[in-house]
Amino acid sequence: QTVVTQEPSFSVSPGGTVTLTCGLSSGSVSTNSYPSWYQQTPGLAPRTLISNTNTRSSGVPDRFAGSILGNKAALTITGAQADDESDYYCVLYMGSGIFVFGGGTQLTVL
Amino acid sequence: EEQLLESGGGLVQPGGSLRLSCVASGFSFSSYSMSWVRQAPGKGLEWVLGISGSGDSTYYPDSVKGRLTISRDNSKNTLFLQINSLRAEDTAVYFCAKGGWYNHFDLWGQGILVTVSS
């Protein structure tokens, strides 16, 4: 069974830069996985940040950027702000209509 | 304004059944694949089911085949999730999401809580 891996937690200082990654338990992530990223505050619905590797959703500041780094998808937050403190999830398309979410990264800004 | 609104959740006994609904507005519902995503208490997001815009094709991971069924009524702009033989591990907030096939999820409902307990 394919597992999508994310760092369980990460910490960044206000104004700092952080890169969260999204990998596969076996194999590499490519653009063919159509990686997308979501931000979620506990108790609320997810907010779509990035689709198709690097396309920002409407209203998402350009501090958020998606990419492929090596064999993983990546979400880079530049100039982190206090309200970026959230859970971040990636999801990968496995083909045949099947998606798998990563376990999520809890980002702390302090 | 695009919107998704779920309903039908609540407390259900183990072994019971439940049907969730999601009413869409503000976009051409039949043109888009739709999905259900769930989140158990304190856990991460889990994609559980998808359906094509026409409703002709459905997509399931092996883990939910047989107990969870997705369907849609395009005449009523409504997405459904039928869950049978409910188990404690089905306890979760269920989100309706616009997206599926290979398209990302670009619109989310507010979520509806399903609690399976005796």
Interchain contact, B45 vs A93, CB within 8 Å = no
The per-residue b/e assignment along A19-42, b for 16 or more CB within 10 angstroms, e otherwise, is bbbbbbeeeebeeebbbbbbbbee
Length of chain B: 118
Residue B53 to residue B24: CA distance in whole angstroms: 13
Residue A74 has a pLDDT of: 98
- Measured between CB atoms, does B78 come within 8 Å of chain A? no
pLDDT tens string, chain B, 118 residues long: the values are 999 999 999 999 999 999 999 999 999 999 999 999 999 999 999 999 999 999 999 999 888 878 999 999 999 999 999 999 999 999 999 999 999 888 899 999 999 999 999 9
Would you say A71 and A28 are in contact if contact means Cβ atoms under 8 Å apart? yes
Six token digits for residue B109: 């409902």
CA angle, residues A42, A23, B109, in degrees to nearest 5: 35
Residue B31 to residue B65: CA distance in whole angstroms: 25
- 3-state SS class at B29: helix
Nearest CB among A34, A46, A96 relative to B45 is that of: A46
Residue B50 to residue B35: CA distance in whole angstroms: 4
Interchain contact, A104 vs B45, CB within 8 Å = yes
Instruction: Find, in chain B, the residue whose alpha carbon is nearest to that of A42.
Output: B42
Q: Where are the alpha helices (DSSP H) in B49-105?
A: none
Longest dimension (CA), chain A: 41
Enumerate residues 6+ apart whose C-beta is below 8 A from A95: none
- Measured between CB atoms, does A32 come within 8 Å of chain B? no
Q: How far is CA B107 from the centre of its chain?
A: 13
Gap from A40 CA to chain B (nearest CA, Å): 10
Number of alpha carbons in the 13 Å side-chain half-sphere of residue A33: 27
Interchain contact, B44 vs A97, CB within 8 Å = no
Neighboring chain A residues of B45 at a CB cutoff of 8 Å = 38, 40, 46, 89, 91, 101, 104
Q: Where are the alpha helices (DSSP H) in chain B?
A: none
Residues of chain A where predicted confidence (pLDDT) is lower than 70: none
Residue A77 has a pLDDT of: 98
